[in-house]
Amino acid sequence: MEKNPKNPPIDRVDGRMKVTGGAKYFAEFEMPKMAYCVIVGSTIARGSITGIQTKKAEASPGVLGVFTHLNRPPIPGWDSPVTGNANGPAPAPPSGGETYRILSGKEILFDGQPVAMVVADTFERATYAASLVKVSYAKQTPHTEVGKNLSKAVTPKGPRFADYARGDRKALESAPVQLESSYSIPIEVHNPMELHGILAHWTGPEEIMIYAKTQGVMATQQAMARAFKIDAKGIRVHTEFMGGGFGMGLRTWPQEVATVAIARKLGRPVKLLMTRSQMFTLVGHRPYTLQTIRMGADANGKLLGIVHEATAETASYEDFTEATVNMTRFMYESAYLETRYKIVPLDRSVPIWMRGPGEATGAFALESAMDEMAHQLKMDPIEFRLKNYTETDPERNRPFSAKNLKEGYERGAKAIGWNQRKSEPASIREGDWLVGYGMGTGTFNASRGQATVRAILKSDGSLTVQCAVTDIGPGTGTAMTLVAHQVLGVPLDRIKVEYGDTTLPPGPMQGGSTVTSTVGSAVMDTCTLIKKELAQLATGAGGPLQGQNPEDLVLEEGQLYAGNNPSKKVSLLELMQQSNVPVIDKTQLSKGGDEQQKYSMYSFSLHFVQVNVHALTGAVKVTKAISIADAGRIVSPKTAASQMIGGAVGGIGMALTEEALIDHRLGRFVNNNFGDYHVPVHADVPAIETILIDKPDPYINPMGAKGMGEIAIIGFAAAVANAVFNATGKRIRDLPITPDKLIGLV
């Protein structure tokens, strides 16, 4: 990582706490008389319950309750009609259709569907009792395969998903160079290290204390308010630390709501902690998706048309949608452009956003096709992209707020040693290993939401910054600390950030790469208010810098001075003490203006990889990786680089190992455990170099910073597939690129 002398990297502010066990995750909280809840999942994927025997479980030691569809405690937002309730149904699904209403009836909609929730005084007793619940079913044949159910595909409602076309189709039809390729990505699961669950306790008739694993404490609070038809004010949700989310914590899941209902019924705290295999079924996944790209170009490499189609799975009960094809509309200049997106309802649990949702899938197809076309044209893949580069957004016909991909292509090519790449595939061999190079581009929407931040500066020199946002791991607390430090000059070790609790000022959920832009700007705005007040104190009558223009004052390392006369200065603490102001306490709501209407705002990324492919076994190793972020000004260089590295590791998994497999005869997973679902381990991951372009976006927000959580993975899998093609001459269009797809190269 290159260093910016004006913004030196700092360690994660919560790093020490995390590695020493001081950071408390939801499952580590204990409460007096706490009970444990364990889920029993269905063993069929479609059909209905014909009988359920719970007596043995109920009689098992320590058991406090066995809840099924026959006796599930009320969830008023589901159980009574919700028409006319301004709160809406509880909790509403994120895209469309119906949320699965847990333990509501006999019908089985997906494999692993909770059919009973067993509560006991210890986790072990609950787990044992759960094994005693016997369920009989009337089975039906499940439909779980996208490819065999294409006749059910529908275009989801909403303008984002409607069929899209612009330009003249004839340009594509008459293009001298043509390409049509189909791609697939398997089901992938988030599977963060921390297991999912919730701990809930009703502390009053309309008061709940909740420790959850959520990417948004306020979103969980709202969902529970709707579910139980009580005022959100009575519900406190706490998630200060989260052991990874990647999207699975962006909604409140039915089993969380049921646990809260059970806690009310039993009148004691109840903790639900899911198993690893339940993490495959009950908290969403990246949907299996089929894609086809048709592309046409002229002999000089000008794109004349792109048609990008995607068909993804969803559940029979809920529509899950993501913008899989949308980046194709603006990434490159093309005379004709068409996209289509469809979803197929299956007897499966519903997908949810997973890191780089939509774009990570779409970029695999688009960036693979770009490489295929470059090869057909006998052009260098970077040159081909530059040939079709666009400085303005061709979809919306307006400028990008900032786009520095040209610089990225240049720096990435240099860093990976692109000049060593041979355009003829399978040209470089080192012993038994074939060597290849590839690259891929990523993009994700950049925006700024709304947040309220409170900042409290005390005359003892301490600063506390508060917002209800959750930090799921990227280093939001560190970024907030740095922004406050940059505005107020308070030393880093005197700044404390507080987040992840609904008692704090309202903040957004952590998702969609928006938090640094949103909360960082709010920290900046609130701290700027404090700075203004300090300037008034200093320059006002009797102040130590009386007569100076408050606009000219500079704050650095605890000192306030006139920019044009640095010898006249006063320390913040002296100023506050002299002025008899023990504390300056400001709260400010902060949000963007209409910049989003004037500019197209995206973050961009580039991934360059070198792979070695074993000529005999087909094993692929990523031997070098460079990930580049064009995400505006970088607020926290060290955590930003870590964010890119984490995304690249996820990208290696997506490219080479990750695949949740279903036995379609049964509609069940066969590898729902970490032994068989392969994520990259240390030996699979080279030292990943990150390049942060670090040029402010002039329009997005006053900091000029955009998000990078999603772009870290988007485009990476294509870079690997393209490198594998360059190494071997074999084009793998179905992820993951496992050795069986390459074996027999010699």
Which residue lies nearer to ligand MOS by CB, 128 or 353?
A: 353
Residue nearest ligand MOS, CB atom distance: 247
12 close to 641: Cβ distance less than 8 angstroms: no
Catalytic pick from 359, 498, 658, 710? 710
Write the DSSP assignment of 235-258 as a string of letters.
EEEE-S--S--TTTTSS--HHHHH
Name the residue nearer to ligand MOS (CB basis): 77 or 245: 245
- Nearest residue to 272 (alpha-carbon basis) of 465, 35, 64, 84: 35
Structure tokens at 22: 């001081």
Distance (Å, rounded) from C-alpha 402 to C-alpha 421? Answer: 30
Closest CA to 249 of 198, 215, 274: 215
Tokens of 690: 């990150």
Q: Which is nearer to ligand MOS, 47 or 507 (CB)?
A: 507
Closest distance of CB 356 from ligand MOS, Å: 7
Contact 179, 372 (CB under 8 A): yes
Using the minimum distance from each CB to ligand MOS, give the nearer residue, 186 or 245: 245
Query: Would the CA dihedral through 422, 423, 425, 427 be positive or negative?
Result: negative
The Cα 393–Cα 355 span in angstroms is: 24
Distance between terminal CA atoms of the chain?
38
Decide the pairing of beta strands 428-430 and 433-445.
antiparallel
CB of 709 to ligand MOS, least distance (A): 6
Q: Which of 488, 479, 500, 452 is nearest to 584 (CA)?
A: 488
Q: How far is the CB of 727 from ligand MOS (least distance, A)?
A: 31
The answer to whether 100 and 75 are in contact (CB under 8 A) is no
Q: How far is the CB of 20 from ligand MOS (least distance, A)?
A: 26
CA distance linking residue 393 with residue 157, whole number of Å: 24
Q: Got the DSSP string for 446-476?
A: -----EEEEEEEETTS-EEEE------SS-H
CB nearer to ligand MOS: pick between 322 and 659: 322
Q: How far is the CB of 361 from ligand MOS (least distance, A)?
A: 12
| Minimum distance of ligand MOS from residue 245's CB (angstroms) | 5
Q: Distances in Å between the alpha carbon of 330 and those of 162, 631, 672?
A: 16, 17, 37
Our answer to whether residue 318 is catalytic in this structure is no
CB 716 within 8 A of CB 731: no
| C-beta of residue 327 within 8 angstroms of C-beta of residue 297 | no
Which of 322, 393 has the CB closer to ligand MOS?
A: 322
Q: Which is nearer to ligand MOS, 78 or 499 (CB)?
A: 499
For residue 646, the minimal CB distance to ligand MOS (Å) is 12
Under the rule (CB under 6 A), what is the footprint of ligand MOS?
Answer: 215, 245-247, 250, 353-355, 357, 511-512
Cα-to-chain-centroid distance, residue 531: 34
The amino acid sitting at 182 is S
To the nearest whole angstrom, how small is the minimum distance from the Cβ of residue 509 to ligand MOS?
A: 8
Pick 248 or 382: Cβ nearer ligand MOS: 248
Strand partners, 303: 297
Strand partners, 629: 605, 692
Asked if residues 720 and 438 have their Cβ atoms less than 8 Å apart, the reply is yes
Q: How far is the CB of 282 from ligand MOS (least distance, A)?
A: 17
The residue among 41 and 357 lying less far from ligand MOS, judged by its C-beta, is 357
CA distances from 674 to 28, 274, 662 (A): 22, 15, 15
Count of Cβ atoms closer than 10 Å to residue 229 Cβ: 16
Known catalytic residues?
710
